[in-house]
Structure 1
Amino acid sequence: MEIGLLLGIFAVLLFIGFPIAFSLGISTMTYLIMADIPLTILPQRFYAGMDSFVLLCIPGFILAGNLMNAGDITNKIIKFSDALFGHIRGGLGLANVGGSMIFGGISGTAIADTTSIGAVMIPGMAKRGYDKPFAAAVTAASSTVGPIIPPSVPMIIVGSLTSISVGKMFLAGAIPGLLLGAAMLATTYIISIMKNYPKGEKFSFKRLLLEGKAAFWALLLVVIILYGIIGGIFTPTEASIVASLYALFVGLFVYKTLSFKKLPIILLDTVLGTAALMTLVGMANVFAWILASENIPQMLANGILSITDNPILVILFINILLLFVGSFMETIAALIILFPSLLKVAEGVGMDPVHFGVMAVLNLMIGLTTPPVGVCLFVASEIAETPLKKVIKALFPYLACNLIVLLLVAYIPQISLWLPSLFK
């Protein structure tokens, strides 16, 4: 009875629009009271969920993303992408996707990508003759690429939940991320031809070199992070500190677009963002502990395997479940609650843990743009000042291409595992 009440309250609160952390907190508190479990377990499990060295890199990467954004690096990345794609029909839409692939790979979060790139690109695309719903849709859809391309906050969470190496997860996400980006570029180009969207400036190699030089420092950051982690020079947590110091140095002394006056606001934004994320991690851990104590993960695993033990069908069922959950629940919470139990199911049919981790993260990233609770959808719709209904309609081609990429990643393990295998 208590577990039914837990899940029922959580579902109702989520449905009426409560923040996910509060929905988890209220439902877990109710369960503990009804089950006559001492409430001291709540702070204990809450803290245990955050007590991980790997999770220390989250504030570091959030700070690095904020510093790069405040230092006007986002505009430089967009200009570089525009120089590369602008001469093609629908060039600004292509630049939007390209910018997301670069910036998202630095910030590691889809929301930061949607907010920062959307604030520049959506009004810019509207001025150039693009439909606002299309501008919002391409921004929301492309923002999901960033957390697949390393560094990635969801993949850090996967590493903290299991013994999977974060460095391996970063490497495994690179090719699927590029594949997803390429699929979105192709979709954007086809839509742009069908709707006769405008071309930008004529291609200029000189302009590409100039914009590439301006964006060089941003691109170099991704290289430093990856090389440092893979080469064993520093851990992901140390990499986040290096990234923050690097972004601070570039903003203050290379581009000179940052000032010491801006730092208190940047630090405050980082603290608020980290606090919100870590509260979610803590509450999700308490929720996951209750589910584990009630043996729900084992029941879920047995339920899937009782239907079939065919690897193709099991992987399909897992994807359907994650897509459904991802359309309602925040990525981090979904990973903490479901990943460990679903990993056992995946390993039971011979799936590599790294491969499964990439598939799960990609799946839940797609959920960020899936109605009814796709967070990136709401953010992009708000920036575009366009009804959500119109943005969702414009998003359908991107959802279709994303699902095709998801199936390729799910059923062709080498897309994820080839790169990590080179660095054994």
Structure 2
Amino acid sequence: MSLAAIALIVVMLVCMIIGVPISWSLILASGASLLLDGSALSIIPQRLFTSMDAFTMLAVPLFLVAGDIMAQGSISRRMVNFADSIFGTIRGGLSVVLLVSCAIFAALTGSALATTAAIGAIMYPAMTERKYPKDYTTALLAIGGTLGPIIPPSIVFIFYAQSSNLSVMKLFMSGIIPGILCCALWSVYAIFVAKKEKLPKEGNFSWKKVGIAFKESFLALLMPVIILGGIYLGIFTATEAAAVAVVYGLCISLFVYRDIKVRDLLPMFKNTAKTTANLMILIAAANVFGYLVAYFGITTSLTALVTKLAPNAVLFMVFSGLLLILCGMFMEATAVVVILCPILHPMAMSYGIDPVMYACFMVFLLCMGIATPPFAPSMFVACGISKEPITKVTKRILPMLAIQLIVGILIAVVPFLSTFLPSLV
């Protein structure tokens, strides 16, 4: 590799180690490499603009707004009540209710932290009131939040599509079966823990109770049907679906449920604007970095090196999987995707690995890091709600992380799990 290529990697790593924000680390590294190469620095603003000039990127702020609307209104609470009417009557049923609610909320927002915060605000008080262990409840919230970037629509998948030129719709569909499988296995584990620790049982099942809860939550439950159904039936794109989610959420929250006032919208939009700005700066900087990775031939050099160390696709999947888990433990999933996708995606294709399966594999393993210390943002949000020490919660969450790792391995071993639904498009 050339000196400029080495500088690109070294400057980025040094900046990140000393605490420079990831976005600026990528920009500084890009500038340093261009100066050493003698190329024009004007490449940076040109690539920054090009990366934002994409229709799919409009979906990010729209899904964030939709998440805020559901969290602040009663949409998420009504969904939880419906899940409670079905699963709440079994021993430890509230654990299952929490996980199912996370899955439903994830199918509307695509955000791990929004899922953890919204469901945690509703479920944590209810579960602690019924004598569920606080550290166990916190662990469930943290692990449930990781479904946000897996079950579509997913903000992380949007960034992956932007970095790899894959279809957003196919990536969305690749996460459905793994996400549901993971939620189901966690629920089985939750029932096992409930029986082992003799957690409370909430009365007997009643169809009347289910009917009442369904009636009260019908419009809320219709939201994921409209959004996901519209995407998969080809009625609208993922970006248009995000706009539909915002409009639908606003209409039923403002005019039907009337639990959000017009005066609440401005603070909501300000919060989304701040979050969106941070994400967009990151994706723009990563686009510049990814362009230079290809320009300096870093991918080609690394592919040749990896080919010697991993002569077949199996070893490549093992090595890249370990790398993704490690990176996910120290960095945000979105940041890892925009940095590593331009490098690992072409490598995976050179081994003949299905690109959609590898995208799902990559995002899924990175999502483990959302609940794995030391980074663990969803765990920090959950612990912020419960005030439980991270050390206690970590012990509780390890079996759930093991289940998630098993599903991640299954994605690689059984590509059907992630490729079947996209193949129907």
TM interval, shorter chain, is over 0.9
Instruction: Answer whether contact 1:137 1:380 (CA < 8 A) is retained.
Output: yes
Tell me: CA distance 1:39–1:168, structure 2 relative to 1, closer, same or farther (3 Å): same
TM-aligned CA distance change 1:102 to 1:63, over 3 Å: same
Query: TM-score, with normalisation over the residues of structure 2?
Result: 0.92
Return closer, same or farther for 1:344/1:9 CA change in 2, 3 Å cut-off.
closer
Distance 1:27 1:328, change over 3 A: farther
Show the counterpart of 1:414: 416
Structure 2 CA distance for partners of 1:130 and 1:368, relative to 1, 3 Å: same
Query: Which of 102, 124, 127 is matched with 1:122 structurally?
Result: 124
Name the residue aligned to 2:349: 347
Say yes or no: does 1:368 pair with 2:370. Answer: yes
Indicate whether 1:279 and 2:281 are aligned.
Answer: yes
Q: Distance in 2 between matches of 1:371 and 1:129?
A: 26
Bigger Cα displacement from structure 2, 381-390 vs 284-293: 284-293
Gaps of at least 5 residues in structure 1 are: none
For 2:335 and 2:51, the matched residues in 1 are separated by: 11
**Retained in 2: the 8 A contact 1:151–1:222?**
no
Change in CA separation of 1:12 and 1:190 when aligned onto 2, cut-off 3 Å: farther
8 Å CA contact 2:293–2:343 kept in 1: the answer is no
What is the rounded CA distance, in whole Å, between the counterparts of 1:394 and 1:24 in structure 2? 36
Q: Corresponding residue for 2:171?
A: 169
Q: Conserved in 1, the CA contact under 8 Å of 2:159 and 2:334?
A: yes
Match of 2:73 in 1: 71
Q: How much is the aligned-residue C-alpha RMSD, in angstroms?
A: 2.3
Identity %: 38
Partner of 2:97: 95
Gapped regions of structure 2 (runs ≥ 5): none
**Which deviates more from structure 2 when the two are superposed, residues 282-291 or residues 311-320?**
282-291
Partner Cα separation in structure 2 for residue 221 and residue 138 of structure 1: 25
Give the corresponding residue for 1:249.
251
2:324 to 315, 318, 322: 322
**What SS does the aligned partner of 1:327 have?**
helix
**In structure 1, distance between residues paired with 2:261 and 2:422:** 39
Distance 1:213 1:17 in 2: 51
Distance change (3 Å), C-alpha of 1:394 and 1:94: same
Q: CA deviation at 1:18?
A: 5.5
- Contact 2:26–2:289 (8 Å) recurs in 1: yes
Contact 1:297 1:338 (C-alpha < 8 Å) held by counterparts: no
Contact 2:329–2:370 (8 Å) recurs in 1: yes
Inter-partner Cα distance in structure 2 for 1:10 and 1:384? 36
Pick closer, same or farther for the CA change 1:15–1:93 going to 2, 3 Å. farther
Pick which of 292-301 and 59-68 moved more: 292-301
* Equivalent in the alignment of 1:81: 83
Is contact 2:153-2:172 (8 Å) kept? yes
Flag the 1:191–1:2 CA change in 2: closer, same or farther, 3 A.
farther
Change (3 A) 1:35 1:111: farther
Q: How many residues align?
A: 423
2:145 maps to which of 143, 146, 150? 143
1:20-76 alpha-carbon deviations (Å, 9 max, x no partner): 434444555565667666544433332222221111111111111111222221111
Question: What is the TM-score with the length of structure 1 in the denominator?
Answer: 0.92
Deviation at 1:413, TM superposition (A): 0.9
When residues 339 and 220 of structure 1 are mapped into structure 2, their CA distance, relative to the original with a 3 A threshold, is: same
Deviation digits for residues 240-295 of structure 1 (CA, Å, limit 9, x no counterpart): 11111111111122222122121112211221221121122122223333433343
Letter paired with 1:308: A
Residues 343 and 111 from structure 1, CA distance in 2 versus in 1: closer, same or farther, beyond 3 angstroms? same
Whether the aligned pair in 2 keeps the contact of 1:63 and 1:244 (CA below 8 Å) is yes
| CA distance 1:129–1:222, change in 2 (3 Å) | same
**Worse overlay, 37-46 or 225-234:** 37-46
